[in-house]
Chain A
Amino acid sequence: MANYTQRKKTRRQFLIDISKNACGVGFLGVGLVAYSNQSLSFNIQMLRPPGALAEADFQSACIRCGLCVEACPYDILKLGRLFQPIPTGTPYFVARTNPCEMCEDIPCKVACPTGALAPELENIDDARMGLAVLIDQENCLNFQGLRCDVCYRVCPAIDKAITLEMHRNTRTGHHAVFIPTVHSDACTGCGKCEESCVLEESAIKVLSRQIAKGELGSHYRWGWIEKEKAGGSLIDPVLDLPDRVPGVLE
């Protein structure tokens, strides 16, 4: 009520009011910034829908409307809730319980009104929601020499995203092991392999690509690739100097 009985504020009162509000809001702002920085490092097993921009861009693009969630015919997408380790209101799925079914028409992407799920994604096979990593080699049955092969069999891009690579079984010395091997150029991160892993806790997990991928230093070159590109050796052949043979000198 003090607000409108006192019509004209003195300059002093005005400045006091301004700084009061600014301090309060600044306080709130500092807390919010801390919280928003925390939210950028969210649970890496919460995967974004297909076509999602890189995480920082995604967080500025997604307006948390849930249209993708309602568009998903398999109800796999969820929106982050308050107090969950994911930015509030942003869509995610958990591969172990509900992997992406990779619809050919990508209805979640079509529904997105802002382009947080990039409209450029035309083919679901080009989606990169994450990258499967056979993270626990100690418990993976195939690593022990068994032919479980489930992750390989369920992969929608079988023999492209996951292959079985034969190696010598050093435990027995005279058997083979077939190692499920993920290829990052074909893996969409749909999570089918993680869902179907027969272990109590999956040995193969879909992680965000940022975590799962290494990156070569930009100045590194693979010699054999460069050689192939150049159509031959990049350095001159070994110099053939005349041999000093005692007889010739004479």
Chain B
Amino acid sequence: MKKSNTLGQEAIARKGWLLANRFLLLRRLSQLSILVLFLLGPWAGIWILKGNLSSSLFVDSIPLTDPFVLLQSLTSGHIPLLQAFIGVALVLLFYIVVGGRVFCSWVCPINLITDAAAWCRRKLKLRKESIMSSQWRYWILAMAILLPLFTGVMTWELINPVSVFHRGLFFGMGLGWILFFMIFLFDLLAVENGWCGHLCPVGAFYSILNKISFIKVDAINREQCSDCLDCFNVCPEPEILKGPVNGQKKGIATLVNGMSCTNCGRCIDVCAENVFVITTVFNGENGLKKVNKLGGEIK
């Protein structure tokens, strides 16, 4: 096993820095341009995207609404206007095509914080140990959806860091910074990928869409794998790589079909042997049926 400070070095040496970081760069570009599009309105008066990630209006005509937030609104007892439902349909459609947790790695602003924590963790060589079940987030998701039935208010939205952070950037954060500093420290010192990979119900919600989404990562050239473990070290959800990368003997398909894959593409970046490609579920022998049977997320 390589030391973590050389992570991705070989890929950079072989493929060049740009190619070995292209998904990371694209992701940062996506995250920042979404922030910029929202900020252009209040800062420069150019209204391309109004609102925030909970609900927004694109060029004054196309509504986009977060399905998880609207679901909480429904369970707390409000039937929203048609506009909100159209917004939800558009968002769901988008993530079903590109992959549910694409939200997490390409859109969510908290990802910038947790990626920074993960980076620091690698640099500081903090030990990886799982002291917390990654199933927590599904429990919190269930709680977030069910609590409003009893309280009549969107209980989770009172503290939901994803919406609080994004909203705070445009409408004022106040003391909210404390929360994000805590998330950073939690990810850095307590649990690796603790927030995104264990607790966040927003990611848990979008991961359900991964069950039916079309675009996935595929470890199609796994026989070339040199067992350097760079992909495992860089992946925010390393459990899902185990089957597709190492499951050749057991006949597990190469498609990375785990619910929690965020399609961040870092495994593609850091792999010097070009094991991974990004593909669709329809592609050839790695099709969906075979994968569902054998290659699902292994617990």
Contacts and interface: CB of A to CB of B under 8 A. Distances in A.
Interface residues of A, number: 49
A65 B170 CA distance: 11
A114 B51 contact: no
B175 A63 contact: no
A115 B130 contact: no
Interface in A61-86: 61, 63-67, 69-71, 78-79, 81-84
Contact of A64 (B77, B83, B163, B172): B163
Interface string B56-94: 110000010110011001001110110110010000000
Interface in B136-183: 136, 139-140, 142-143, 147-148, 150-159, 163-164, 167-168, 170-176, 178-179
Size category of the binding interface on chain B: 35 or more
Given A60-B152, A79-B172, 7 more contacts: A2-B130, A3-B299, A4-B242, A36-B158, A56-B153, A60-B73, A82-B168
A60 B78 CA distance: 6
Contacts of A79: 167, 171-172
A19 to B, nearest CB: 11
Interface of A: 1-4, 7, 17, 20-22, 24-25, 28-29, 32-33, 35-37, 39-40, 56-57, 59-61, 63-67, 69-71, 78-79, 81-84, 87-89, 111-116, 119
Interface of B: 41-42, 47, 50-52, 54-57, 63, 65-66, 69-70, 73, 76-78, 80-81, 83-84, 87, 129-130, 133-136, 139-140, 142-143, 147-148, 150-159, 163-164, 167-168, 170-176, 178-179, 239, 242, 298-299
A51 to B, nearest CB: 12
Contacts of A89: 54, 157, 163-164, 167
A17 B52 CA distance: 37
Contacts of A37: 151
Closest 7 CB pairs of A and B: A81-B174, A60-B76, A65-B55, A114-B80, A82-B176, A61-B78, A65-B51
A54 to B, nearest CB: 11
Given A32-B155, A36-B158, A66 B143 contact: no
A102 B153 CA distance: 28
Given A32-B147, A32-B158, A65-B51, A21 B153 contact: no
B152 A56 contact: yes
Contact of A114 (B73, B142, B148, B171): B73
